[in-house]
Structure 1
Amino acid sequence: MIISKPDYFLENTGSTLVVIAVGFFCGTVAAIPMGLALAKVSWLERALYPFVVFLQAMPHISLIPVLIIWLGFGLFPTSILVGLSVFFPVLVNAVTGVRSTNERLYFVTRTMGSNALQTFRFIEWPTMLPYLLSSFRIALAAATTVAVVSEFLAANSGLGYAALTGVRYRDTVQVIAVVLITAVVGVILNTLSQTVENGVMRKYRS
């Protein structure tokens, strides 16, 4: 099936990868600064963290009807769902990473007259980075799953849509092909993430 319809599967795989990339980027960009804020401002954590947990506990797929009404079909609703799946693990690890910073290092930076930006660059960011890189691997796995599932209902392209088309026409081979492609995509993304993590950490250790 994959060999007989390569263009079809390549096109839909590309659509899913775009959804993963956009959702991962948006979720990460939102999670890191909020994680920094929650780690540093205790009252903000008390105010917002319960809401964040509630948002994570909510089945994200249940938001699809609302997102379809607001945004229609396609990239926007699916990437929002992927972004939500990425947001929580990155946020939690960002908070944990900042709070893992040795308090003595803060004393040193204050003694040397470092400002907040310098403290972040030289103290907090290197401490937080291993936690973020680990969270990216978890987030990418979740993003792949959520992207495909959301495409069942909220997209006109992608691997999820291809699987749904196979179900509609009782094409078992096509559905199995989508499952295999999704697994391969997940393995490739995990391998790339691990390679980047190893390379970055090797650079920081040196």
Structure 2
Amino acid sequence: MTDRPTVDLTDPVALRAYAHPLRMSLVGLLRREGPLTATQAADRLGESVPNCSFHLRQLAKYGLVERAEGADAREKPWRATALSTRWGRESDDAETRAAVDQLDGVLIHRLYERALRWLARRDADPPQWRAVTGPGDDLAYLTAEELGELSRRIDDLFDAYRDRRTDPSQRPPGARPVHLGYYVTTIDQP
């Protein structure tokens, strides 16, 4: 299994910096496709080159991206510094909690938009893909420790497939990019 370093964001300024949809898209793109120049990233995301350049420099300030070697002295590609990002939801600091809430809100909104885009095109998917994709939910009564263990187990299951993200030779024929997005909440009881 490939070592999958993680960027841990704990500073409220860094959390707010990452809570920008284009910045999240840039980091995701670099994680999926490897080093890219601002021009290449702008082309893939339908953004302007100056806008992508600015946001890549901002991401570099917080350790989410860095410069990579280019093919020549003029090419200046960027790469993601890690395959995942975590942020400190357990902080007792009010400013940090507010920044975490902002970042969580952006992420939940992005998950929702991604699901709606999928819903709009799922009829074009073959039946075998329609049969195994889509929303679901469940309810369990767990302690915080049990929920933490469940999350670790989900990560461990998904871990078996993570090498395929960065090594296309690991992908079997017919493999497609699949996003597993979930969020866990407690619910109000009457």
Q: TM-score range by the shorter chain?
A: under 0.3
- Tell me the TM-score normalised to structure 2 length: 0.24
Q: Which has the larger radius of gyration?
A: 1
- Considering fraction of residues, name the structure with more helix: 1
- Tell me the TM-score normalised to structure 1 length: 0.23
- Considering fraction of residues, name the structure with more strand: 2
